Amino acid sequence: MAITHILFWFLTALALVSALMVLLSKNPVFSVLWLIAVFFAISGHYILLNAQFLAIVNMIVYAGAIMVLFLFVIMLMNLSKATEPQKNIWLQIAGTVSGGCLLMVFISLVKQATEMQGKTALLKNGDIGLIGNLGKALFSSYVVPFEISSVLFLSAMVGAVVIGKK
């Protein structure tokens, strides 16, 4: 068995266990930390798929910025047992039904995946998904939209500073 297969199964197990721990953790801060572990496992899958840009963006944006924002919101809310509403039986039934529907979708996807065995994907070459190709496309074919978006981001930052100073 190749090292990529072992790494794939390790990352898959890590993602599944971490996702279960997100749901089973009583403390919301621990749930956010487990969700960060899920994002890192998904980034590992992206790297195995030769999509380094998606992996880095996933780590920076999701595991970095958004999870820090989640942590700040959770800490500012100051959650406790007294402020938590009591669970309604109808919500539990709705959660069970929606979980069953999701399980049925997963089962149908697995059946479709077994039908696809033996078929291979057509690839041009081994450098699909690399950052160098993205940079070449951005600075050759899409240079004008790229520059327009950079000016838009700059004006948004200046606007945020002006609004924040008041």
Tell me the per-residue pLDDT of 34-74, one tens digit each, with 9 for 90 and over.
Answer: 999 999 999 999 988 888 888 888 898 888 888 888 888 88
Higher-pLDDT residue of 79, 59: 59
pLDDT of 103 reads 93
Q: What whole-number distance in Å separates Cα of residue 26 and Cα of residue 12?
A: 23
pLDDT tens figures, 10-25: 999 999 999 999 989 8
What's the pLDDT score for residue 91?
85
Contact (Cβ atoms closer than 8 angstroms) between residue 58 and residue 43: yes
State the residue for tokens 């600075």: 139
Q: Read off the pLDDT of residues 97-139 as tens digits, 9 standing for 90 and up.
A: 999 999 999 999 888 877 777 766 555 566 666 778 878 888 8
Q: What is the pLDDT of residue 123?
A: 54
CATH numeric code, 3-129 = 1.20.120.1200
Radius of gyration of the chain (CA): 22
pLDDT of residue 126: 63
At 9 the pLDDT is 93
In eight-state DSSP terms, residue 117 is T
DSSP labels, 3-40: HHHHHHHHHHHHHHHHHHHHHH-SSHHHHHHHHHHHHH
- Reference 88, options 96, 99, 100; nearest CA is 96
Supply the pLDDT for residue 81: 63
pLDDT of residue 83: 64
Predicted confidence (pLDDT) per residue in 111-120, tens digit: 887 777 776 6
CA angle 57, 29, 35 (to 5 degrees): 35
CA torsion, ordered 16, 18, 22, 27, to nearest 10 deg: 160
* Rounded Cα distance, 14 and 45, in Å: 11
State how far the Cα of 105 lies from the Cα of 99, in Å rounded to an integer. Answer: 10
pLDDT tier for residue 146 given thresholds of 50, 70 and 90: confident
- Its pTM surpasses 0.85: no
